[in-house]
């Protein structure tokens, strides 16, 4: 299975597809936080840190439900490509996949802290988003080098 050209094509496709999904997700997050009306990316990040958008419990449920399914399915599919790897051990692949799942959950539920007023700054959401995207990029790198 390792030497099959079809395997390399499918892994290459999923890597490109996943990077585009991550980029569009970050872009949509920034747009929802005011990137379209602000003068630039840095101003939007300052606004998120200083005064994040108000979150309600209903809005949290509307956002968290599809994100739990979509992020979980995407991680599930990408992590299963590691089953065919001969260069990365199963133990390391499992560890990275579990970290990515945990950080995805932390990213989704960081809205809870903001919506319930536990955190008044957007640092938590930005940190959670950065941690999830970074760990997912590590998983994608492992998949890319497992070809």
Share of the chain above pLDDT 70, in %: 91
Q: Which of 2-6, 8-12, 133-137 has the lowest mean pLDDT?
A: 2-6
pLDDT of residue 10: 78
Q: 82: domain range?
A: 5-145
In the predicted model, what is the mean pLDDT of the chain? 81
- Structure-token pair, residue 27: 């872009």
Query: DSSP labels for 96-123?
Result: HHHHHHHHHHHHHHHHHHHHTTS--STH
Is there a contact between 144 and 81 (Cβ–Cβ < 8 Å)? no
Place of tokens 């133990």: 91
What is the tally of structural domains in the chain? Answer: 1
Give the model confidence (pLDDT) of 87-99 as tens digits: 888 898 889 999 9
Residue 41 and residue 55: Cα distance in Å, rounded?
21
pLDDT of residue 26: 82
Residue 107 and residue 84: Cα distance in Å, rounded?
29
Which candidate, 137, 22, 59, places its Cα nearest to that of 30?
22
SS3 (DSSP) at 80:
helix
pTM for the whole thing?
A: 0.76
Is there a contact between 87 and 146 (Cβ–Cβ < 8 Å)? yes
Q: What is the average per-residue pLDDT within 45-53?
A: 75
Residue 2 and residue 61: Cα distance in Å, rounded?
42
Is there a contact between 60 and 115 (Cβ–Cβ < 8 Å)? yes
Residue 138 and residue 96: Cα distance in Å, rounded?
8
């Amino acid at each position: 299975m390792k030497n099959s050209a079809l395997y390399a094509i499918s892994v290459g496709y999923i890597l490109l597809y996943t990077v585009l999904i991550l980029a569009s997700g970050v872009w949509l997050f920034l747009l929802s936080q005011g990137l379209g009306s602000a003068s630039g990316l840095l101003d939007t990040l300052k606004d998120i840190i200083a005064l994040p958008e108000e979150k309600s419990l209903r809005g949290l449920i509307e956002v968290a439900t599809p994100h739990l399914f979509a992020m979980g399915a995407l991680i599930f599919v990408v992590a299963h490509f590691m089953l065919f790897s001969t260069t990365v051990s199963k133990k390391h692949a499992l560890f990275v996949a579990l970290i990515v799942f945990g950080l995805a959950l932390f990213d989704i539920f960081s809205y809870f802290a903001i919506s319930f007023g536990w955190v008044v700054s957007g640092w938590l959401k930005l940190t959670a988003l950065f941690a999830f995207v970074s760990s997912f990029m590590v998983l994608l790198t492992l998949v890319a080098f497992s070809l």
